[in-house]
Amino acid sequence: MFSRRTKARLVFLSNVLLLPIMYRFVRWRRATGDEESLSLVPQWFVAGVGYQAAYYWAYDHDFGAIRTSRWRRALFSGIQSALMSKLFPQSEGGRLSFSIGGNVGAIAYRLWYGVLRPLPGSDE
């Protein structure tokens, strides 16, 4: 099908295309008068960047076989969802900051590993 690097490039492209959509959403919500709850929370932005970069690092290195085993990936996703529901910020601004940070983290990681350089552990 597709090589790992091609998939990484597609992830990069999709995240780049998603960023302006997220920006427009924030602008639209602020235009409706909901400016206070949509302020960027730097701590959650940085947490989102770090989380997404760590996730892609673990995926690329097949940590816990999350890349090669569908069952382990599903189990990891379930555990991740449960933890995120407990640790996730309750404010809408915090959730949005985490999402935007995660998007930026994915772009940065995939730009470095996938677009500019080969993926870790690949023979390319």
For the chain, percent of residues with pLDDT exceeding 70: 94
What type of residue sits at position 56? Y
- Are the C-beta atoms of residues 105 and 57 closer than 8 Å to each other? no
- Both tokens assigned to 36: 């206070």
In the chain, what is the straight-line distance between the N-terminal and C-terminal CA atoms, in Å?
16
- Amino acid at residue number 124: E
Contact (CB, 8 A) for 116 and 64: no
pLDDT at residue 118, as a whole number: 92
**pLDDT 10s digits, 3-18:** 999 999 999 999 999 9
